[in-house]
């Protein structure tokens, strides 16, 4: 990429990559699945007509600074807009970066007061930016404040740190998350090459402290848009005791069209995974609707109403359709399912 193009992208969007991720890039960053995620490309300066500065409507549902309240029972708490790496496809790329900063004491207090005042809020998702760039002391203050709110039942952290900067997951960070309230950590991983020995060790430190791990991934052209890569990613995560939670269809953030697949392509990939990997390895394929209307599953459907009342036509993982309940005369000599290829 010409230096002038890199400078133009850097003026528009934040750029950062950790040594751990830089070491994983093999060959041309523009085609390498790790390089594509973190190294700027000139295509980021091309904004498609359907791309949005706030693609999932965060700003529309921000009653106080640092809080996004789109669902009745949960809120996002964004104490920081800083990340150790800046993904080139980030849906918050207009907000994150070194200039995004952190909530000051007054702003954080107001955000926590918002949660305290609303008994319907059962889950607080601490995100950003990446919350694990905060000092353990500050993390502990946030966890401790949420821990004593009676109606908060879950504190969930969204982070890339265990993968992109695993050394940050030390005893101080783990201690900062100690709470009576259930604490979950959701890690962001997109390619099996990210599941390094150092990442495994970071995961183990959370798990050793009794903190469950989930993962979320983004479907990205040229990174993980084939069944073999997704299978390896999800199997690798499960083997490290991380449950795949979401596979996100890429949001309509500015300058990200070169990463975007079609919904039909995503559904086809999920069909290929069905039956080939266990349910432990199956995330929900979801789309966050533009405008803040919420996250919905968009994976393939295997059931449709049958021709007769109270009957269904069900498609198996091979694509063969079956009546449900079965017809009365379907007592063929061999009812065993076909062997997998």
> Is 295 one of the annotated active-site residues of the chain?
yes
Nearest to 1 by CA among 86, 85, 83, 88: 88
Look up residue 233 and give its two tokens.
């990613």
* Residues 305, 282: Cα–Cα separation, whole Å: 25
Catalytic, out of 70, 88, 93, 260: 70
Nearest to 152, CA basis, from 189, 186, 206, 111 = 111
Beta-strand relationship, 303-305 and 312-315: antiparallel
To the query of whether residue 87 is one of the catalytic residues in this protein, the response is yes
Catalytically annotated residue among 13, 32, 86, 87: 87
Q: What is the 3-state secondary structure (H, E, C) of 239-250?
A: HCCCEEEEEECC
**Given the residues 36, 54, 74, 168, the one annotated as active site:** 74
Q: Which of 12, 118, 221, 295 is catalytic?
A: 295
Residue 48 DSSP one-character state: -
Q: What is the DSSP letter of 277?
A: B
Q: Is 193 a catalytic residue?
A: no
DSSP state of 156: E
What whole-number distance in Å separates Cα of residue 125 and Cα of residue 183?
A: 10
Out of 71, 235, 243, 276, which one is annotated catalytic? Answer: 71
Cα-Cα end-to-end distance for the chain: 42
Catalytic residue among 88, 92, 160, 193: 92
Q: Is 118 a catalytic residue?
A: no
Active site residue 92: yes
Q: Which one of the listed residues 90, 156, 193, 281 is annotated catalytic?
A: 90
Is 301 annotated as catalytic? no
Distant-in-sequence contacts of 207-212, Cβ < 8 A, 24+ apart: 207/241, 209/174, 209/177, 209/178, 211/174, 211/177, 211/183, 211/184, 211/185, 212/184, 212/185, 212/243
Residues known to be catalytic: 70-71, 74, 83, 87, 90, 92, 251, 288, 295
């Amino acid at each position: 990429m010409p230096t002038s193009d890199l400078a133009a992208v850097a003026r528009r969007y934040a750029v950062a990559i950790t040594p751990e991720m830089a070491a994983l890039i093999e060959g041309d960053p523009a085609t390498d699945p790790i390089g594509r995620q973190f190294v700027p490309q000139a295509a980021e300066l091309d904004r498609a007509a359907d791309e949005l500065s706030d693609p999932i409507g965060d700003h529309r549902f921000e009653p106080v600074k640092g809080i996004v309240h789109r669902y009745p029972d949960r809120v996002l708490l964004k104490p920081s807009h800083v990340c150790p790496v800046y993904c080139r496809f980030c849906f918050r790329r207009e907000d994150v970066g070194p200039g995004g900063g952190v909530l000051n004491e007054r702003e954080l207090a107001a955000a926590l007061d918002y949660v305290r005042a609303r008994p319907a809020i059962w889950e607080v998702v601490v995100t950003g930016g990446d919350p694990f760039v905060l000092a353990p002391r500050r993390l502990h203050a946030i966890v401790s404040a949420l821990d004593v709110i009676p109606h908060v039942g879950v504190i969930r952290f969204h982070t890339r740190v265990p993968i992109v900067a695993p050394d940050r997951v030390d005893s101080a960070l783990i201690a900062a998350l100690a709470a009576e309230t259930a604490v979950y950590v959701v890690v962001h991983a997109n390619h099996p090459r990210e599941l390094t020995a150092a990442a495994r060790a970071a995961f183990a430190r959370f798990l050793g402290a009794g903190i469950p791990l989930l993962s979320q991934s983004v479907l990205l052209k040229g990174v993980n848009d084939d069944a073999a890569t997704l299978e390896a990613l999800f199997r690798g995560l499960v083997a490290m005791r991380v449950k795949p939670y979401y596979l996100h269809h890429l949001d309509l953030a500015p300058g990200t069209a070169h990463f975007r697949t079609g919904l039909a392509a995503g559904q086809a990939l999920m069909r290929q995974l069905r039956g080939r990997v266990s349910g432990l390895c199956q995330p929900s394929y979801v789309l966050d609707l533009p405008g803040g209307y919420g996250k919905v599953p968009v994976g393939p459907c295997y059931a449709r109403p049958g021709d007769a009342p109270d009957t269904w036509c069900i498609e198996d993982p091979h694509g063969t359709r079956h009546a449900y309940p079965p017809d009365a005369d379907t007592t063929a000599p061999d009812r065993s399912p076909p062997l997998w290829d």
